[in-house]
Structure 1
């Protein structure tokens, strides 16, 4: 599995006005609507429901919000780079400026976990995160992400 199989260029955005986790989820919902024709409210509700189980901030300024949703036939991704980091309740208490959201079919099993592991390994690469943070252009971000080689587990 490659990031290019779950991420469309139009699902990569730079976002400046996130003031909270909920506002970030609303922006993810808007991107999901435009890129994948998902209902934005359903998307936000699915993310909030999953987040209620525990924060998806994995540390080092990275969050991996994810949810299972009806009406999806494959795992899909949305990448947002935040110009101003926000509190996300991350495990290391660091604010988040990189968010990679994943959505999977309700009945998906191992594919959802494989995609989550791939994104996690990829964004664990400090050199890649430095490049992402230095390039506030969506097309460049997409290229960096889809050409990245995941860090070995």
Structure 2
């Protein structure tokens, strides 16, 4: 599995201002609807339900919200770079500015876990995060995220 296979270029956004975690989930729902044809409300509800089990802020300014959805046909990603970091109840209590959300079918099983591991591995790379934080152009952000796998394959 590669990030380029689960992350469309138009599912990558830079957002100037986001006031709450709930607003962030609404933004993710809107992107999921426009890019992947899913119902935005269903995506928001699934993300909120999952977040209720425990925060997905993994530390160092990164959040990996994820959920399973009946209508999802495959695992897919959404990436938001927040220009103004947001309190996300992260494990290290630091605000979040890089958000990579995953939506998977209810029966995705191991594919969902593989995608989560791939995203986690990618965003643990400090150089990748530095590049993401220093760019606001959506196409550049997508390239940064997907070029990692190209350089690892070489």
Which interval holds the TM-score relative to the shorter structure?
over 0.9
Matches of 2:40 and 2:17, distance apart in 1? 18
1:94 aligns with 2:94: yes
For structure 1, the residue ranges without an aligned partner over 5 or more in a row are none
Matches of 2:73 and 2:27, distance apart in 1? 22
Measured against aligned partners, the alpha-carbon deviations of 1:33-68 in whole angstroms (never above 9, x if no partner) come to: 110011111100000000000000000000000000
Instruction: Map residues 1-150 of structure 1 onto 2, 5 A cutoff.
Output: 1-149=1-149
Answer 1 or 2: which has greater helix percent: 2
Measured against aligned partners, the alpha-carbon deviations of 1:93-149 in whole angstroms (never above 9, x if no partner) come to: 000000000000001100000000000000000111000000100000000000114
Large movers: runs of 4+ above 4 Å: none
Matches of 1:89 and 1:82, distance apart in 2? 16
Measured against aligned partners, the alpha-carbon deviations of 1:62-106 in whole angstroms (never above 9, x if no partner) come to: 000000001112100000000000000000000000000000000
Q: Name the SS of the counterpart of 1:50 in structure 2.
A: helix
Deviation at 1:17, TM superposition (A): 2.0
TM-score by length of 2: 0.96
Q: Name the SS of the counterpart of 2:14 in structure 1.
A: strand
